[in-house]
Chains A and B, each alone.
Chain A
Amino acid sequence: LAKTTQPISMDSYEGQEVNITCSHNNIATNDYITWYQQFPSQGPRFIIQGYKTKVTNEVASLFIPADRKSSTLSLPRVSLSDTAVYYCLVGPLYGQNFVFGPGTRLSVLP
């Protein structure tokens, strides 16, 4: 399983766009990149998943360069309620062995 590295923490202000980058230098050909969000005392929640280029949903965008050795989660116009820990995971599509990276603690300030 590909190991991931992320910034430990980030601060932002309400209304700003936040970009969180995840490095995964040894990503395998059949690996996908998935991001989860976790609020205190709650289970993680799926945000977005992608394989290459760009994926967008109603919550976030995921940018993956051609070499796939990194990925960037983009949260548009964050609010206070986006304060959470964001985890990047890399693994095969049908894999069950989820390995969460260290996560990035995002604090959104008023």
Chain B
Amino acid sequence: DTEVTQTPKHLVMGMTNKKSLKCEQHMGHRAMYWYKQKAKKPPELMFVYSYEKLSINESVPSRFSPECPNSSLLNLHLHALQPEDSALYLCASSQEDTETYEQYFGPGTRLTVT
């Protein structure tokens, strides 16, 4: 199984809502990532978890809160978002300590903030 799954596929939320994005992989990967991608732009790294510990936080606003409950799951909790946060949110995973610079990406969650 070389698949990363993300739910929901689409999400519309108001600026006062609280919602969560979910990501799951069963490849035994120990690194998991969140990216944000605006239309016609490259993905931008937000967070990296390595062995279930947050290892990289790219100065993301606190209205985005990541969580890694176990090595297969990654959540992104959203609260008080702004319309400019509307984007495709991508989750990815990768092996640690292997001779490949390869990440496996999920299909993304299309988020619209109204």
Contact = CB atoms under 8 A, between A and B. Distances in A.
Interface of B is mostly: strand
Interface stretch (B11-19, B60-68, B74-82, B93-101): B93-101
A102 to B, nearest CB: 6
A96 B99 contact: no
Interface of B: 4, 31, 33, 42-45, 48, 50, 55-56, 88, 90-92, 94, 96-97, 99-108, 110
Majority SS at the chain A contact face: loop
Contacts of B88: 41
Contacts of A94: 96-97
Contacts of A98: 33, 43, 45, 103
Interface string A25-67: 0000000101000000111111001000000000000000000
Interface of A: 32, 34, 41-46, 49, 87, 89, 91, 93-103
A43 B42 contact: no
Contacts of B104: 46
A49 B106 contact: no
